[in-house]
Chain A
Amino acid sequence: MMPSLPIWQFDVLLLVLVVLFAVVALSIRNLMGAAVVFGAYSFMMCLIWAGMGAVDVAFTEAAVGAGVSTVFIVSTIYNTSATMRSRPGGMAFKLFIGVVVTLAGVFLLSALPDFPDWGDPNSPANATVAPYYIENSIRDTHVPNLVTSVLADYRGFDTLLETIVVFIACIAIYSILRIETAKSKTDEPEEDIATAPPSYDPSDSLIVRQASRFMVPFMQLFALYVIAHGHYSPGGGFQGGVILGASLILLAISFDLKFLLRQWREKPLMLLVASGVCLYATVGLACMFTGGNYLDYGSLDSVLPNDRAMARSHGILLVEIGVGITVMFSMLAIHINLASNGRFDRGL
């Protein structure tokens, strides 16, 4: 299995790098530079989790924190053009803040000796619940990836509520930012998005456009592979959905935003965001109709052709597809809202 000996040097090096990156990100005066270094800091966190062996979490952190989240921050800076001001307040104020933060840190660190040891088999998580999952997951669900089976089957309610949280985030950004174009007065005449000619700036680079056109289908294919192969390799619905959304954001960035808005209108987009959550909930209801509890996929074996364990495996796949759909269109809708400042006509 995994050797544990060369790992602690790797972990210490990564921890030092994380702290250095965070310090650099905080001390850069220019906001754009700080945002980009913050993205790299996110990726260092991903490396720490990969060093611990938690590859699913590392994948999600790389996809969301180091990829899409940095693009959102850049869009926000573009639309607000915020600058960093030095904080007023003299030396005494800074000293006071330093003392308070240090006290809070010491208080938190004093709980450290009470933690169980690294990988202790007698810790509460490992002694009661984890051996059941490790021993019975393949027999119950035919899914070798323990993370996927725990996430989508044994703890299916949590994943349903997490998907709803992503959905709520998308709706919150939509309802805060979206304004109807009749209320904001701009100087240019209204033009119908569907019939307007493609409007990318001719001085924009042809190279970037062509390279992005090359890469987008491969990204989407890879993302579909990640969703479908989540049973056997790190991945699953959430990571695949983020990469799918990122591929469409790449189209929006390298071409113009209007190019994307001609394909994805507002109303079908928001309906598709909701449909992923609906798919997840409907699978649960179907389980109730065929005789089991809510989200008990085993009772689907009266509808699906194989035995009970394969029915659970198929149920997990359906649920992951639902999560992937919601996350993909959420990322796209959030990017369109942030980049065009709610107007849905032009932007970054």
Chain B
Amino acid sequence: MEILAYILISTGLIFFLGTTIGLLRFPDFYSRMHAASKGDTLSTVLILLGCICLVSTQGEMNWLLGLKILLIINFIFIGSPTATHAMMDAGNKAGAEPWKKDSQ
């Protein structure tokens, strides 16, 4: 179980590294938001699943704690993409232009 926890956490960290690089290097804010939202949510879910596996290896399984971490995963899974959607909607209404390849 511990090995599974470490695999999950390190995969989550690799995804987070990808998110950060995408956030820095993409040319336009719409594409940056794409990278931020997907990579961020996925990496957080993986890391928190790894945390649940870690918790279950320390002594006996504490069900309440695992349930609470599952609740955190639930709220982040629903809330973070919705927040990104709201921000993209706001950017669209406020008139930010998407990047076109031939304008470079």
Min Cβ gap B88→A in Å is 10
A interface majority secondary structure: helix
B residues in contact with A214, CB < 8 Å: 78
Task: Determine the distance from Cα of A214 to Cα of B82 in the docked complex, in whole angstroms.
Answer: 12
Q: Which residue of B lies closest to A222 (CB)?
A: B71
Task: Determine the distance from Cα of A214 to Cα of B78 in the docked complex, in whole angstroms.
Answer: 9
Task: Determine the distance from Cα of A317 to Cα of B78 in the docked complex, in whole angstroms.
Answer: 33
Q: Chain A contact residues (Cβ within 8 angstroms of B): what range?
A: under 10
Q: Which of A49-57, A152-160, A204-212 contacts the other chain?
A: A204-212
Interface residues of B in 49-86 (CB under 8 A from A): 71, 75, 78-79, 82, 85-86
B residues in contact with A218, CB < 8 Å: 71, 75
B78, A207: Cβ atoms closer than 8 Å = no
A residues in contact with B86, CB < 8 Å: 205, 208
Residue B89 lies at the interface, judged by CB distance under 8 Å to chain A = yes
Q: Which residue of A lies closest to B93 (CB)?
A: A203
Residue A215 lies at the interface, judged by CB distance under 8 Å to chain B = yes
A191-213 near B? 1/0 per residue, CB < 8 Å: 00000000000000101100100
Contact of A208 (CB < 8 Å), options: B71, B75, B85: B85
B78, A215: Cβ atoms closer than 8 Å = yes
Min Cβ gap A243→B in Å is 12
Task: Determine the distance from Cα of A218 to Cα of B68 in the docked complex, in whole angstroms.
Answer: 12
Interface residues of A in 167-204 (CB under 8 A from B): none
B residues in contact with A205, CB < 8 Å: 85-86, 89
B residues in contact with A215, CB < 8 Å: 75, 78-79
Min Cβ gap B63→A in Å is 16
B residues in contact with A207, CB < 8 Å: 82, 85
Task: Determine the distance from Cα of A208 to Cα of B86 in the docked complex, in whole angstroms.
Answer: 7
B residues in contact with A211, CB < 8 Å: 78-79, 82
Task: Determine the distance from Cα of A218 to Cα of B75 in the docked complex, in whole angstroms.
Answer: 9
Q: Which residue of A lies closest to B90 (CB)?
A: A205
A201-238 near B? 1/0 per residue, CB < 8 Å: 00001011001001100100000000000000000000
Task: Determine the distance from Cα of A218 to Cα of B79 in the docked complex, in whole angstroms.
Answer: 13
Q: Which residue of B lies closest to A209 (CB)?
A: B82
Task: Determine the distance from Cα of A218 to Cα of B70 in the docked complex, in whole angstroms.
Answer: 14
Interface residues of B in 7-38 (CB under 8 A from A): none
A residues in contact with B82, CB < 8 Å: 207-208, 211
Min Cβ gap A77→B in Å is 14
Q: Which residue of B lies closest to A253 (CB)?
A: B86
Min Cβ gap A109→B in Å is 35
Task: Determine the distance from Cα of A205 to Cα of B84 in the docked complex, in whole angstroms.
Answer: 12
A242-254 near B? 1/0 per residue, CB < 8 Å: 0000000000000
A residues in contact with B85, CB < 8 Å: 205, 207-208
Q: Which 7 A-B pairs have the closest CB atoms?
A: A211-B82, A208-B86, A207-B85, A205-B89, A211-B78, A208-B82, A207-B82
Using a CB–CB cutoff of 8 Å, the interface residues on chain A facing chain B are 205, 207-208, 211, 214-215, 218
List 15 other contacts, CB 8 Å, given A205-B89, A208-B85, A218-B75.
Answer: A205-B85, A205-B86, A207-B82, A207-B85, A208-B82, A208-B86, A208-B89, A211-B78, A211-B79, A211-B82, A214-B78, A215-B75, A215-B78, A215-B79, A218-B71
Using a CB–CB cutoff of 8 Å, the interface residues on chain B facing chain A are 71, 75, 78-79, 82, 85-86, 89
5 CB contacts below 8 A, A to B, read A208-B85, A211-B78, A211-B79, A214-B78, A218-B71
